[in-house]
Structure 1
Amino acid sequence: MAANSTTAPSTAAANGPHDHTTFLRSFAAREAEKRAANDKPTLSVEQHTVHRAQLGKVRFIKPKYSAETEINVSGIFNKWSRYCTDMKIGDWKTTIQNLKLETT
C-alpha cells in the first residue's frame, strides 16, 4: 500500500510524539498578560467615598421614554407605592425625595 503523503511526519519529543507543553505554557502566559492588561484596578475606600460625594452633585436630564418603558415605569411605581403602604414608611413621594443617590 502507498503511504499517505498528506500527513505530516510525527516528531518524537520527550513526553511523547506530540509534546505541546512549551506552546501551552507560552499561550497561557500570553492570555494571563492580556487578562491582566484588561483588568481595571479596584477602587480604594477613599475613592469610593469621593465618587459617592460626586454623585450627590450630578444632575440628570430626564429622558423621553417609549410607550413600553412608560408602562414598565408605571408598574414599578405601583409596586413602590404598595411597598410604602405595606411597610408603613409613609408617603411614597417624600420617601423617594429623601433618598440619596448614593444609597440607590
Structure 2
Amino acid sequence: MKLIYSLMVHFSLNSSLLKVNESSEIFKITPSVAYRQLKEAVNNISKRYITYTTYHEKTVGIGRINWLSAYKYFDTERYVRFRFNDALFSYLFEL
C-alpha cells in the first residue's frame, strides 16, 4: 500500500501505469521484489472501498465505491496498469 500511495502523484485520474524499473529504483529493491509488491499493492487496493450513506425519497441506504474500476498485470514486461474509479474522487475531495 505504501508503494501505491507514494507513487500516486504521478498518475492520471483515468489510467495509471506502474513499471517495475521506476519503483525498484525509487525504493532500492530488486525488480522481481518490486513487481511482486506492485501486484500485491494493486490487488489489495482493488479490495478497498468507501462506504457512504445514501438517501432516496424517505429511505436511507448504504452505498459502496471501490477504489479501482479495473486493473491488469503484464508479467512478461513486469508492469501493472490500473484505473481509479471515477466516482471515488468526489468523495476523496470531501475528506
TM-score between both structures, scaled by the size of structure 2: 0.26
More strand, by proportion: 2
More helix, by proportion: 1
